[in-house]
Amino acid sequence: MKPLVEYCHGAVKALNAQYEMTNVIGHSATAGAVRERLIHDFLCAHIPEMTSVVSGVIIDSSGQRSRQQDVVLMLKSMPRMPFASGHDLIFQEGAVATFEIKTQIAPSNLEAIAENISSVNILQPTTLEGASLGDLGWPYARILNVVLTYGGSPLKSIERKLGSLKGNPPIFSTHQK
C-alpha cells in the first residue's frame, strides 16, 4: 500500500503546485475556470475508464433538473446530450458523483453551494438499479456530492450547513492528521 500512498501524496503536491501557478491570472472568473479545469484533468487521469468527467446539468425521468454542476462523473455506458458549450445534459441514472469546486468557501457562499447540491439530491431515479464503483457502501440510487475547496471556511462550518439540506443529506467523512 505504501507506493499508492506515496503516489497520492505526490499527485496532491503536483495539483497544489498547479493551483499556485494560477494565482498570477488576476481575473477571478478566469482563475476559477482554470482551477475547475485542473480538477477535471486530474480526475480524467485518475478515475476508472468506466466513467467520463463532464460538466453540465443532471435531469431525471420527470424532467426535473439540477443546477449547473462544475464536474460530474458519469458512467460511460449511459447516454448524455452534449452541447458545443462543453456543458452536457446528463441523465440522473448515469451520474455517479458531482464536484462543486471553489477557490474559497466563505460563510456567504455556503447557501449557494447547499442549494446546488440539494438540486442534485432531489432528483429521482427511474429505477433503483445502478452500477457499483468498488465496495463503497454507497446506495446505488444516490449521487455522491463532493465539495472541493482550496481554502476558506473550516470543514465543521461547511458540514453543519450542508447537513441541513432537503432530500438526501450528504454523508460526511473526514480524515485529519
Q: Is 50 exceeded by the pLDDT of residue 173?
A: no
Query: What average pLDDT does the segment 51-68 reach?
Result: 93
> How many domains are contained in the chain?
2
Which residues constitute the domain of residue 23?
A: 1-46
Supply angle C-alpha 6, 10, 12, rounded to 5.
Answer: 120
Residues 54, 38, single domain; the answer is no
Question: 44 is written with which cell numbers?
Answer: 480524467
Chain-centroid distance, C-alpha 9? 20
Residues 29, 56, single domain; the answer is no
Q: Is 80 exceeded by the pLDDT of residue 100?
A: yes
Q: What is the pLDDT of residue 130?
A: 52
Q: Is 50 exceeded by the pLDDT of residue 116?
A: yes
31-47 confidence digits (pLDDT tens)? 888 999 999 999 999 88
Q: What is the pTM of this model?
A: 0.78
Residues 6, 72, single domain; the answer is no
Residues 91, 30, single domain; the answer is no
Residue 61: count of CB within 10 angstroms of its CB: 13
Name the pLDDT band for 177 (thresholds 50, 70, 90): very low
- Mean residue pLDDT of the chain comes to 81
Residues 52, 31, single domain; the answer is no
Q: Does residue 176 fall inside a structural domain?
A: no
Which residues, 6 or more positions from 91, have their beta carbon under 8 angstroms from its beta carbon? 58, 59, 60, 78, 79, 80
1-26 confidence digits (pLDDT tens)? 699 899 989 998 999 899 999 999 98
Q: Is 70 exceeded by the pLDDT of residue 75?
A: yes
Q: Does residue 22 fall inside a structural domain?
A: yes
Name the pLDDT band for 83 (thresholds 50, 70, 90): confident
Q: What is the pLDDT of residue 176?
A: 35
Examine the fold and report which residue of 30, 46, 62 is the final residue of a domain before the chain moves on.
46
Question: 165 is written with which cell numbers?
Answer: 439540506
DSSP structure class, residue 123: -
Q: Does residue 177 fall inside a structural domain?
A: no
Q: Which of 132-136, 137-141, 151-155 has the highest mean pLDDT?
A: 151-155
Q: What is the pLDDT of residue 112?
A: 85
Per DSSP, helices labelled H in the chain are: 2-21, 28-46, 110-121, 155-162
